[in-house]
Every structure is written in C-alpha cells, then in structure tokens.
Structure 1
Amino acid sequence: MSVIPRILKLDAGGLPVEWVDWREAVSLYFTDKIAWEAGTEKILLRGGRSRDTGIRSELSIDSIIAVRDRSHRFARNLVPTLTRRELFHRDGGLCMYCGTHLSFSQMQIEHVVPRSKGGEHAWRNVVSTCEPCNRYKDDRTPEQAGMKLLALPYEPNLAEWLILANRRILADQQAFLERLAPRRVRVAS
C-alpha cells in the first residue's frame, strides 16, 4: 500500500496554515469547507463497492486546499517552536562550523552567543553542531574561538517551517511554499 501524502491546508486568503492528513481533507470536502484548490497534484482515494451497483467509490482530492473556516487566525506571525528536530531540519543535518553531516542522534544544539554571556535560546542564536566543534568552541563566541559559521542562524517563517515539517512534500506543495519563503543568503562572511 502506498503512503498517502499530507495535504497543504491554506486559509481562504491563500496563507498556509498546516498539513492535514487525507482523512481531515475528506471531511473538509464533505462538509463543503473547501473554498478553492491550488495544487497540480490530485490524490485519488478509493473506497468500497456499492452493494446496489457494484461501483467502487472514488474521491479525488487536491494536494493544496484553501478552507473556509477560522484557520487564518493560527497563521498570523507564527514562529515555530524551537526544538532539536526542527533545528536539525533547518540546518540540513550539518554542523554549522565544520560542515560534517550529522545523524539526528549526533547533533548538538550550540548557542552562537553562549547563554552565560547573555545569548538567548532562540532561533537566531542556535545552530546544529557536532560534538567536537561544540566542545572546542566551549563557552566562547565563534570569534573568540577562531571559528566561522558556515551559515547564519535564522528564524523560519510559517512557509519555511511547513517545508521543514513534511519529509514527503509533493513538488507542487514545495513550489507553493517556496514562493512564500523569503529569499535568504545564509552564508556567513
């Protein structure tokens, strides 16, 4: 059995809200809450056969749906919670000092400006790092340790967070969300 991809839910104004599974999408279709569709991918769901006709039921749902409900209130100024998993995805599984590819279990959270020196535990002050780089940097700033960041830490917006949150994102969903993500130059100088 193939895995059914998650559906990108938008508010009626076109702002992304969240990922929903196919069951919730079907419920939105049947309760007539779909305002419009925006995807190029269609997901065909097949049900059982009618006892009377023998015809199998089918429903085609879009990969991107805009919904008439109060979803938009959740999308305003949402900053994703800083978790180890989200940081790992934001930084692409790399140590931001040496560029080593890390497994999730190897990744450590490193505060660019150490907390002991007033650095916050916030998106713009944390990066993924390997254990040797984290140990070497210790309780110093990168400048004090003579280390350079490969990319600057940033706070992802909702579109970026939705991209990070779905490992099985469809091409049309990715393209839609990328248009809403700011163009960033992350390379540290």
Structure 2
Amino acid sequence: MTPILALDITGTPRQWISQDAAITYMSKNAVAWSLGDVVAKYRGGLQNDGIMSYLEAPSIIAIRGHGFNPTKHSKVVLSNRTLFGRDRMTCVYCGNTYTDHKKLSRDHIMPVSRGGQNTWMNVACSCKPCNSYKGNKTLAEAGLELLYTPYEPNHWENLLLQNRNVLQDQMDYLLTGIPKHSRILLPS
C-alpha cells in the first residue's frame, strides 16, 4: 500500500503514515487540508438515506494539532541505508555506482582510530575494495580524493530516502524542501 505523507498544520512534513492511519485522522476530523491524488477509498456504513458513505485518502494530509518538533525531526539518523541513499549508492573514491548495498560500506574519511567521528560530515559511501585499500589511512596517506563532498541531509530528504514508493505529487512536494546541493537532485 502507498504510504501517506503526513504534514503538520504549517505544511512541514512529519512522517509517512499508513492509509489506515490517514483514514483514522480523517474520520476524527483531524485533517486540516490535503493535497494530491486519492490513493485509497474506504467504505463506511449506510447513511439514513440508504447511500453508502466513503472516506477517500489523498496522498498528502496536514494533521491538526501539534506542530513540527524541530528537535525531534530535524536530525537525520545516520544509518547505512540513509548514507547509501544520500550518496546514491556511488563510491566516493572510484565513482562506481552499485545496485547491491552488500558491495558497499561506510567509510570514515578521517578514521575513527585517528579521532574521526561517526557523523554525516565524516562518512561516505565506499565500495568494499576502495574502503579496504584506504584502510586506516587518511586521504593523503592513501593518495585518494573525494569525488563528492559529504553533507548532512535534512528532514525532507530523509523522508524521500525512507520511502521507496514515493508518488509524483509527494515527490514534488518534498522536493520544495530539498537543498540545492543535495545529490538527490542529480539525474540518475
């Protein structure tokens, strides 16, 4: 089933929710406004006039109530999945692009054993042969250069990285909050 993009009342994306959750918000009159195409139609009961009632779930809904919590949602958790998504499954050293995540690894540009941190700005997607070659060396010691610059993705980007089945209207909405330097914007 297609996930629904849930926004807060100001239009800031919060999370992906199920169609059932969207219908629940709609039935409780907790949806302030909506956008996008209808992705699900739920049948209700018979009304007094004998007509069947329906609730339709659009692809994007704004939920009344609590606004966006920047401390909860602004930091993107660093995981291999989000890292490989940010870097588009492309090795930072050789430039090869992979379809199998098992051929990739997380490289610490400044090795952890040398004081490097496990942060977005110090990690990049690397193929296993390049990561093995670099090992515990700095870029200068290994004679390597970065083909692209690491950056910390924002919450909007993270939502795109979380969902593999983003609808066009959801994509268009989320792209408005993606920084211009994001590799997500590069053509495939």
TM-score, with structure 2 as normaliser: 0.86
Equivalent position of 2:62 in the other structure? 66
User: Runs in 1 of length 4+ with deviation above 3 angstroms?
Assistant: 46-50, 52-58, 74-77
Q: Please provide the CA RMSD for this pair.
A: 2.4
Equivalent position of 2:130 in the other structure? 133
Total equivalences in the alignment = 183
- Equivalent of 1:90, from 86, 89, 96? 86
Q: Does structure 2 retain, via aligned residues, the 8 Å contact 1:46–1:56?
A: no
Q: Does structure 2 retain, via aligned residues, the 8 Å contact 1:17–1:75?
A: no
Amino acid paired to 1:121:
N
**Residues of 1 paired with 2:52 and 2:80: CA distance?**
45
SS at match of 2:36: coil
Amino acid paired to 2:89:
G
Q: CA deviation at 1:156?
A: 0.7
Equivalent position of 1:30 in the other structure? 27
Q: Does structure 2 retain, via aligned residues, the 8 Å contact 1:45–1:58?
A: yes
Q: Return 5+ residue gaps in structure 1 as ranges.
A: none
Q: CA deviation at 1:89?
A: 1.3
Q: Does structure 1 retain, via aligned residues, the 8 Å contact 2:154–2:178?
A: yes
Q: Deviations over 1:56-95 (max 9, x none)?
A: 6532222111111225226766211111111121111121
Q: Deviations over 1:77-126 (max 9, x none)?
A: 62111111111211111212112233111211100111122111011111
Percent of aligned pairs with the same residue?
36
TM-score, with structure 1 as normaliser: 0.86
Q: Return 5+ residue gaps in structure 2 as ranges.
A: none
**Residues of 2 paired with 1:97 and 1:115: CA distance?**
18
